[in-house]
Amino acid sequence: MFDLFSGLDVWVGVSLVLALAFVLAFEFINGFHDTANAVATVIYTKAMSPYRAVILSGIFNFLGVLLGGVGVAYAIVHLLPVELLINVNTGHGLAMVFSLLAAAITWNLGTWYFGIPASSSHTLIGSILGVGLANALITDVPLADGINWGKAIDIGLSLIFSPLAGFLVAALLLIGLKWMYPLSKMHKTPETRRDVDEKKHPPFWNRLVLVISAMTVSFVHGSNDGQKGIGLIMLVLIGIVPTKFVLDLNSTTYQIERTRDAAIHLQQFYNRHSDTLGEMLALGKAGNAEMPDLYRCEPTQTEATLKGLLTDLHGVSSYNDLKDEERVQVRRYLLCLDDTAKKVGKLSDLPSREKADLEKLRKDLTSTTEYAPFWVIIAVALALGIGTMVGWKRVVLTVGEKIGKQGMTYAQGIAAQLTATAAIGMANIYSLPVSTTHVLSSGVAGTMVANRSGLQGNTVRNILMAWVLTLPVSIALSAGLFWLSSRFVG
C-alpha cells in the first residue's frame, strides 16, 4: 500500500492522503447514515439491544464489502464518460474527487442531522453527475456527452423503482402474513407486547426472523453501498497516481494473455460482421494509429485502437514491464474498445447469441482495468463497519415511530426487512446501486398502509422532499465546486 507514495511530489502525496480520507469519511458517514436503516426495525421491536445490533450490523457490513466484488463499484465509476476517465490528469483528478466528495458529505451530514432517511446512493450519484456535466461545460463537450447517459438512466431507474417495489412488496407480504396468521402475536407492537403480555422481547420465532433479516440487510447493504466507496477510491487512485493504478499491476501472465486474446477475438468478431458494422467502425479504411482527439473515443478508430493495443501488449508478460505512459495508453485502448463494444451490443441487427459472445469479450477486455487492491476493500469495509456503530439513534427513531401514526408491529418489521434484503440482493446481482434508505423506509411505509396504521404527513413529506431534492442539490453542489476548483488547477 505505502509504495504508492514513492516518487510523488509532496503536494500530490498530501492531496492523495486527503482524498483517501475524504472517501473513507464518506463511507463512515454512510455507515451511521444508511446502515441505521438496516437495524432500525430490530432495535425498535426490541429483538436486539441497540449496541448488540449495531455491532453485529457493523460486522455483517464489513463482510458484505469484503465478499461483494466490484461490479457496483465500476457501475458508479462508469457514470462518468469514458473520455473523462481516459484523459484525467493529477490536477483534474484532484478537482473531480474533492468536488464530488465534498458535495456528497455535506448533504449526507445535513440530512442525518435532521434525522431524515435520505439516500447516500442518490447523493453520490448526483455528485458524480454534477462533475461530469461541469466538465462538459468547461471543456466545450456537448452536454449529451458529458456523462454516460445510458448508465445514468439504468441507475436512475433502479433508484426510482426499487423504493416503489419495496412499498408494494412489503405491503403485500404483510397482507399475506395477516391472512395466514391472523391471530399471531407477530401483529402486536412492542408496547402492546409489554403492556398485555408483560414481555419485553418479541416471540422467539419472530425475534429470530427479525435478527436474521436485519443482518442480511446489513450484509447486502455492505456489498452494495460499500462498493461505492471502492469505486470512489479507484477514481482517486487513477486520477492522482494513474501510472500505478490504471492497470492491475498484479495481473498474471495468463490474465494479460486473456486480454490480448480477447482483442484478437474482438477483431475477428467485427470482421465477421463487417456487413453490419463496416460503416459504423470504418472497417478496412485507412486510420490513424494514435488515440483520437482528447475527450473522444470514436468507433471509427476501432481498427487502429485494436492494432495499437496488440502492438503494446506484444510479448508482455507483466504490466510492470511497460513504461508509465504505455500503461496509460493501454488503459485508454481498453476503455475505448469496451465503450465501442457496448454500443455495438445495443444494435438490433446482431443475433442475441453474438451479443452474448460480445459481452464475454468485454469482460475479458476489462478484467485487468476493473479491479480493486485488497487494501482498498479492507479500508472501505472498516470505515463502513465502524460508522455503523455510531450515530444510529436519529434514523432509528424516524423509521420506527415517525413514518406511521402507530408503532411498528413485529410483522411489519419482518416484511420490511425481507423486502429490503431481496431488493438489494437483486440489485447486487445486476451490479446496480440502490438506496438501502429508500427501500427500507418505503417498505415500512407500505406496511403501515397495509396495516391501516396511517402515515405521518410531516415525516413522509420530509422523506419525499429529500428524495426529490437530493439529486438536483448534489448535482449543483458538485458542479459548482468542480467549476471553482478547475479554475485553480487548470
Contacts of 171 (CB under 8 A, 6+ apart): 415, 446, 447, 449, 450
Please check the confidence at residue 37 and state whether its pLDDT lies above 80.
Answer: no
Q: In the prediction, which pLDDT does 116 show?
A: 65
Tell me the C-alpha distance between 439 and 423, whole Å: 8
Closest CA to 215 of 371, 53, 340, 49: 53
CA distance 19 to 240: 9
For residue 389, give the 3-state DSSP assignment.
coil
Between 323 and 195, residue with greater pLDDT: 323
User: Which three three-digit cell numbers place residue 13?
Assistant: 502525496
Residue 158 confidence (pLDDT) above 70: yes
Minimum mean pLDDT among 55-69, 225-239, 267-281, 429-443: which range? Answer: 429-443
Residue 125 CA to residue 15 CA, distance in Å, equals: 23
The stretch 76-83 carries a mean pLDDT of: 73
Asked if the model's pLDDT at residue 247 lies above 60, the reply is: yes
Q: Residue length, the chain?
A: 490
**Where residue 369 falls among pLDDT bands split at 50, 70, 90?**
very high
CA distances from 52 to 221, 235, 382 (A): 18, 35, 17
d(CA 45, CA 203): 11
Q: Is the pLDDT of residue 337 over 90?
A: yes
Q: What is the pLDDT of residue 170?
A: 92
Q: Which of 42-51, 175-184, 317-326, 451-460 has the lowest mean pLDDT?
A: 451-460
Q: How far apart are CA 29 and CA 120, in angstroms?
A: 9
pLDDT of residue 72 exceeding 60: yes
- Greater model confidence, 294 or 388: 388
Q: At what angle do helices 324-345 and 253-272 cross, to 10 degrees?
A: 40
> Comparing C-alpha atoms, which of 436, 430, 441 is closest to residue 216?
436
Over residues 125-149, the pLDDT tens digits come to: 888 888 888 888 887 777 766 677 7
Judged against a pLDDT cut of 70, whether residue 273 lies above it is answered with yes
User: From CA 168, how far away is CA 447, in angstroms rounded?
Assistant: 9
Percent of the chain having pLDDT more than 70? 85
Which of the two residues, 414 and 241, has the higher pLDDT score? Answer: 414
Q: Confidence band (pLDDT; 50, 70, 90) for 379?
A: very high
pLDDT at 418 over 80: yes
Phi then psi for residue 455, to 5 deg, are: -120, 145
Contact 202, 47 (CB under 8 A): yes
Residue 88's pLDDT is 59
In angstroms, rounded to a whole number, what is the distance separating the alpha carbons of residues 428 and 37? 18
| Block residue for cell numbers 431488493 | 423
Q: Are 39 and 31 in contact (CB under 8 A)?
A: no
Q: Which residue has the higher pLDDT, 464 or 210?
A: 210
pLDDT at 296 over 60: yes
Each residue's pLDDT tens digit, 220-231: 888 888 888 898
Rounded Cα gap, residues 331 and 322, in angstroms: 12
pLDDT at 395: 62
Q: Is the dihedral of CA 29, 400, 38, 449 positive or negative?
A: negative
pLDDT at 442 over 60: yes
The gap between the terminal CA atoms of the chain, to the nearest Å, is 29
Count the helix, strand and coil residues of the chain and give each as a percent rounded to the nearest 5: 75, 0, 25
Contacts of 377 (CB under 8 A, 6+ apart): 65, 66, 230
**Helix 352-365 and helix 324-345, axial crossing angle in degrees, nearest 10:** 160
Rounded to whole angstroms, how far apart are CA atoms 200 and 225?
33
Q: What is the pTM of this model?
A: 0.81
51-71 mean pLDDT: 86
CB 297 within 8 A of CB 287: no
Predicted local confidence at residue 42, as pLDDT: 82
Residue 55's pLDDT is what?
Answer: 84
Residue 401 has pLDDT above 80, yes or no: no
Report which of residues 123 and 436 the model is more confident about.
123
Task: Report in angstroms the alpha-carbon separations of 175 from 31, 33, 187, 408.
Answer: 32, 30, 11, 15
pLDDT at residue 89 in the model: 60
Cell numbers that stand for 460 in this block: 413522509
